[in-house]
Structures are given as C-alpha cells and as structure tokens.
Amino acid sequence: MQLPLPKFSIILLLLFLSLQVSAQDFQGQAIYQTKTSMDMSGWGGDQMSEQRKKQIADRMKSMLEKTYVLNFNRSESTYKEEEKLAAPGSNNSRWGGMMSSFTGGPQYKNVKEFLILQEQEFFGKQFLVKDSLSSLDWKLGSETKQIGQYTCFKATTIKPVDDMDFMSMRRRNRGNDEKKEGEEKADSTKKESDDPFDELEVPKFVVVTAWYTPQIPVSTGPGEYHGLPGLILEVTADKTVMLCTKIVMNPQEREAIDRPEKGDIVTREEYNQIMKDKIAEMREMYGGRGGRRN
C-alpha cells in the first residue's frame, strides 16, 4: 500500500537526518611511529668513550622515537603521544621532564576553522598555544605506493621551520669560517661565546614529502600537517619520519575529540619568547655559579 504523502515525507526526512548524523558521527584512529635521526659528528663524538655514547643514545632514543595516536573525524582531530609506563628503575624521569618542556604536547586541530591548539607544560606552568593552521602549498604528484591496505599518493611542499624546533636544531656549519691557507689566522686568545645556542642553528625551510590516501577522505594528518585530499599516512620532514602503522575506522570505543581549554593562552611566537627568556635566565644563573668572566 502506498504511504500517504505527508507520512512518506516524514520518513524521507528521518532517513536524511539519520544519514547526516551518520556522516557527522564518522570517526577514525591512526597510530604513527615517529623517528628523528641525529648526527653526532662534530659534537665531540670521536672523543667519547663507547659507554658514554651508549648512555647518550639510550637517553635520546626515548625522545627521538615515539608513538602517537591521531583521533579524527571529518573536521577535527587530536594528536598526542601514546602513554607509556616508565621502565622499573628508570633514572630518566628528570631528563624526560626537562625535554618535554621543549617538545610538543597534546594537539588539537580544526581544519574547518583553520585552528590549532597545543597544550604545553613549561617548567611547571601550563600553556595553551593557539594559532591559525599554516597554509601549505602542496604539489600533488602521480607517484603512488602502498601503505598497508591503502593506496597512497605523493605530495610535496616547502615548510617554514619554527626557530625553536628542537628536532631540527643542528650544529652550525663552521666551514665558511675557516681561513684559507696563507690568510691571517684568527687570534687564538679570542674569547668564545658563552651561549651554547650560538653553536646551533635551525634551517629556515625544509622540504616535506607526504603520502596520503583518498580512501579515507579527511584533510588531516599527524602533527600540524593537513590540507591534502585524504588522510596523510606518512611524512618525511627534515630529519623526522612519521609513519602510520595502524588504522581503525569507526572504533567501538571512541576517544573524545575535545577542544582543550586549560592553560594560559599564548601564540606560538609568544611561547617561543617565553622559552628563550627562560633559557637566558638559566644560562645566567648557572654561569654566575661557574664564576664566568666578563
């Protein structure tokens, strides 16, 4: 029997609303393994004992190799480090606590609002770093590769680097400072800088290569990366690689994707200045103890 038009219209409306709810309720979870390589050459590595090298490598490994969880829907996502229990007898809690002040905390992105929020604890104080998502000028390529069960396409861009990006810091190239044979040598009594950051530099830009899959039609990815027609499953940027190792679509137990609100709201530029001021304060404090000469 044919339904009366009013009742049939109600059924169509309910069906349409249920489809809308289903689309809005879409959610996924992606696990990323990240690894950052660090070149120890030029840092006195040749003069270190093998035992000392191993100690440094063990300490750095927990910072340079991490697992992150990305929970996402069509417009929002959270990206945070997977929680791990400290190993019994571990003595690296102080080291880890100090380094966490210089590396990123839990992150929230909204690609519709072009908003990024990052929770950050710095020497016991809670901040909420708020900024607009950067617009990345992606160049889409035709090259493909398989990551798990997903066909991925290659995209590249050039990204400006934050001047306090610890993972991109490197020893400054002093090659251009060396005098050529026959030229006057520099005064050997000249005082070297007391600032260890004078020996470090951060590149202004890095080339980023990403692999995204249109099979998951969301414009997001790990960290601050976004803006491609599909979920980004792999990123190579400077010395860091982020690789997706697992994807669960519409998991039964879903993580809440909440916009963070706790902490003093600052911009990235303001937060970087806070870090620089604290570093200068620590240098002054420890320098004074060491009886630094003027």
| Structure-derived torsion over alpha carbons of residues 198, 199, 203, 204, reported in degrees to the nearest 10 | 10
Give percent above pLDDT 70 in the chain: 62
User: How far is 154 from 212, CA to CA, in rounded Å?
Assistant: 7
Residue 82 and residue 108 in contact, taking contact as beta carbons nearer than 8 Å:
no
Tell me if residue 72 falls in helix, strand or coil: strand
What is the spatial order of strands in the sheet that 240-249 belongs to? Answer: 139-147, 150-160, 205-213, 231-237, 240-249, 28-36, 65-72, 76-81, 107-110, 115-122, 125-132, 264-266
Binned at pLDDT 50, 70 and 90, residue 39 comes out as low
Residue 85 has pLDDT above 70, yes or no: no
CA torsion sign for 235, 241, 245, 249 is negative
Average pLDDT taken over every residue of the chain = 77
Binned at pLDDT 50, 70 and 90, residue 179 comes out as very low
| Structure-derived torsion over alpha carbons of residues 146, 152, 157, 163, reported in degrees to the nearest 10 | -70
CA torsion sign for 59, 63, 65, 68 is positive
The tokens describing 77, both together, are 């996502």
CB atoms closer than 10 angstroms to residue 266: 17
**Residue 47, pLDDT score:** 63
Composition of the chain by helix, strand, coil, percent to 5 = 25, 35, 40
**Better-scored residue on pLDDT, 7 or 162:** 162
**Residue 9, pLDDT score:** 53
pTM greater than the 0.85 cutoff: no
Residue 6 has pLDDT above 60, yes or no: no
Residue 284 has pLDDT above 90, yes or no: no
**Better-scored residue on pLDDT, 22 or 111:** 111
Residue 79 has pLDDT above 60, yes or no: yes
Cα separation values, 69 from 24, 56, 73, 133, Å: 21, 27, 13, 20
User: How far is 176 from 191, CA to CA, in rounded Å?
Assistant: 19
Judged by average pLDDT, the poorest of 130-134, 193-197, 246-250 is: 193-197
**Residue 216, pLDDT score:** 96
H/E element, 38: none
